[in-house]
Structure 1
C-alpha cells in the first residue's frame, strides 16, 4: 500500500535556476509546452546540453514535470553541467510531485541502490509505489522483489543495479547479452547509453542503430527516439516522412510524447 505520511524529501525545493546561456528563438517561446519539450529533447539528443537546459528551465504548463525530470538527468549524469546529486534530487522530487512517473521511478532506484546515497528502503518504497500506481511495470517488479526479500531480480534489474553501483563494464556486457537475445528493453537501454556517452564512449550512430533495432521490435520509446533523430538529423540523415511514421507507430502504442509531437506538427 502506498504510504501517505509526510517525508522530509517532499518539501525539498530545487536550487536557484542557472543563468541564461543565450536567447532562445521566438518560435520556442511561442510554441505549446509539449512542442517546447520536443524541441528541448531534440537539442539534448544532439548533445546541445546548455540549450536543452535553458529550454527545460523555460517550460511551464503540462510539460513542466517532464522538463524538471530532464533537468535532474543533466545534473545526475553531469551532462553540460557539473554533476550535482543534491540538485538532481531536488529536480527529481519536484518532477515526481508534479506527476512525472519517470522521476518517481528514478528516485526509487536512487534510494534503493545508488552508492552515492545512504540506502533508505522506506523512501525507495514510497517513490516506487508512486511510479507503480501510475502504471510503471518496472517499479511494480522492484516492489514485488522487495516484498519477497529478493536480491536477484531479472536481467534488466541486475543491469540497472550494476549501473547504479558504478559497474559500467559489467552492466554494458549484461545489456549486450540481453540485446543479442532480442530483448527490446535492453536494446533501448543500450541505445540511451551510447547516446549519452555516460558509461561508454558517445556514439550517436550506434545509438541510432540500436533505437532502430528496438523500434522494429515494437518498443514505443525507441520508436519515439528514432523519430526525433530522423527529425533532427542526430545520428542519421534527416527524413521527415520516416520520422512521422515512427512517431505514429509510437503514438499508436499510447506513447504520450509521440502523440503530442504529432498533434502539434499538424
Structure 2
C-alpha cells in the first residue's frame, strides 16, 4: 500500500540513547563496534527495568548487532521500554506493528504506539500519525487531525511533514484552501533538500501572482524562524 512507502520516510529510530553512569561500559563497547559486549553489558540492566538499556537492546536485536536478528526479541524489549514512556521505543514498536515484524501486523496497534510517542513530541511519530489520519489507516480518515500532527512535526523542522502540510493547504483538506501558505511550507521543506517539496513549490508558483509569491516567501522566512529543535 502507498501509505507504507510514506511511513518509511520516518523509518526506525536506531540511534542508541544516552546512558546513565552504570550503562557506560555498554556504550563504550558499542562505540567501538563491539556489539556483543554491548549486549552483554546492557542485558542485566534491561532486565532490571532500565528503559534506555531496554531500548538499546531492542535496537541490537532489530539490526542483528552482536546478536542474531530477532524481531520478536526486538519487539519485546521495545515494549518494555515503551511501557515506561520511552518515546523512541514506542515509535520503533509502532513500526514493527505497521510492518508485522516480530508481532502480528496491526495498523491499529501501530497507530496507538505512534500516538503515545507523538504526544511526547517525537516528530517522526507525529509525521507518521498524521499520515495515518490522512489515509485512514488504522483509524478513521481525518484531515483536520492529519493537519494538526503534520503541523507539530513541521514546526520541529520535519521536512516531509512540512511538504505534506503544504499539500493539505493546496488541496483545502482539513485546513482552509490557501495556496500561499502551501507555497510557504513547500519552500521551507525545499530548503532542507526535500525534492517533492521543491517540485510542489515550483508547480504551485505558476498559479500565484507576484504579490502572492512574495507573501509566500515572507511566510516561509517566518516559519523557518519559528522552527523549534526536534525531540529527541
TM range (shorter): 0.3 to 0.5
Whichever of the two has the greater Rg, that structure is: 2
TM-score, normalised to structure 1's length?
A: 0.42
TM-score, normalised to structure 2's length?
A: 0.48
